[in-house]
Structure 1
Amino acid sequence: MSMKDSHKLFLQSFMSRGLLDAKEVRQLYRTCCLKFNEKYAEKEEDQKAHLLEFVRTINRNIQPFHMEIKKGVSEEEGKSFYCLVCTSDTSITKLASDYTQPEMEFFKRLIESIIDSDNGEIGSTSAINSVDKLEKVNKKLSKQDAQNLLERLEAQKWIKISRGRVSLATRALLELEQYILEVYSNITDKCNVCKRLCVKGQSCDSCNTKLHFHCAIRFFQNKENPRCPNKECGVNWAHEIPNRSTDVEMPSTQQESRKRKTRT
């Protein structure tokens, strides 16, 4: 099925905005349908089915151009997001048109530092000071340059800065997932439940099996004696299971330290 005007308007919004949460996507879908007098389901369950097919139609049409509207979930809040991503280039070089080579090197070091941290975040001061360790650059960045770049990365939804801590935002986890898994394969984990990249979450004390916070909530729901989901392990799950709305951010005190893989 070819795209109608409603699909094109929907896609154009993604091209200009990049990342939208589930509520924004539903509102955009409604706007596009009503603007072109297309069928719009009022019942919530019908809306979900129609929206799913609507996005599938767009993805089928943009697949030849190596593009896809991809759905993901924020690691801290458990909220659903949709992002327009490039599927042909899994490297970070896809960002080269927006950032200089020194800025790219800084971003790569920032990603590595976050991935290699115990709880998926680093201090903003540590992030800024990392400019002193950049080697593959012709022009050094000043610490003020680094501060300005952090603000740009946050504004463009690549990172999140909260209470002086820097972490990867949902856009980075969606668009750069394959890059991170390939380049940092020795220090990254996939969630045992959803099989997606997991930077922040809970880890089994015995086998290091990792779960997103929101996946832990879903997996251990109504289970009196939660056990590790790894069938080869099955020991008692030592962590407190988060009990929260999917729209409430996880308190930093519940961000469990993760056991990292040993570098080779």
Structure 2
Amino acid sequence: MQGNTRRTGVMTDVHRRFLQLLMTHGVLEECDVKRLQKHCYKVHDCNATVEKLEDFINTINSVLESLYIEIKKGVTEDDGRPIYALVNLATTSVSKMASDFAENELDLFRKALELIIDSDTGFASSTNILNLVDQLKGKKMRKKEAEHVLQKFVQNKWLIEGQSCETCGIRMHLPCVAKYFQSSSEPHCPHCNDYWPHEVPEVFDPEKERETGMSRSNKRPSRSRQH
């Protein structure tokens, strides 16, 4: 999908409602997709002109791109009717995820994605994600367990941790935050120059990390062997 020159617009509540309903149905024929699009406009923006379906879907796909998900158009095998479906673009990785995580952990991930997609910023706070534990299917999960699972999602790069400006909404990944503000005692937003209220992480230094590891190793108490 990189290098695609397709035109995209701004994601609105019309697009979000459409995506939620398509996720529910899975696969729809083109005529049903067009009806669904008109329905979403009627619910959220009845005075707006219905956007061309291709441009409408491209706008949604531009948001889904970072999640390795896309709405794709295809045809039925029997009679060639046009259909639309929400598909994973990283099947191998998704299969691996299914083997690495329990059912309730995968449910937490799905709900976290829905939260991110529904947001105006493309972000969801860890607090809001952790509050989803009561809605999970199957085995119950405590918030402490959910914190650990959420950290695993970040470590495995299924979710990316970041910070956003509370004034203008600009978003930065944590490594970028660390590098940008490393020499600033009073950090300010690079976009609107308002005060940056978040804790700035340290810049990762491989050499320092290696020295710390060696220091820990040297501090381990030696055991005397009894004869």
Give the TM bin, normalised by the shorter chain: 0.3 to 0.5
Larger Rg, first or second structure (1 or 2):
2
TM-score, with structure 2 as normaliser: 0.36
Bigger RCO (CA 8 Å, 6+ sep): 1
TM-score, with structure 1 as normaliser: 0.31
Bigger helix fraction: 2
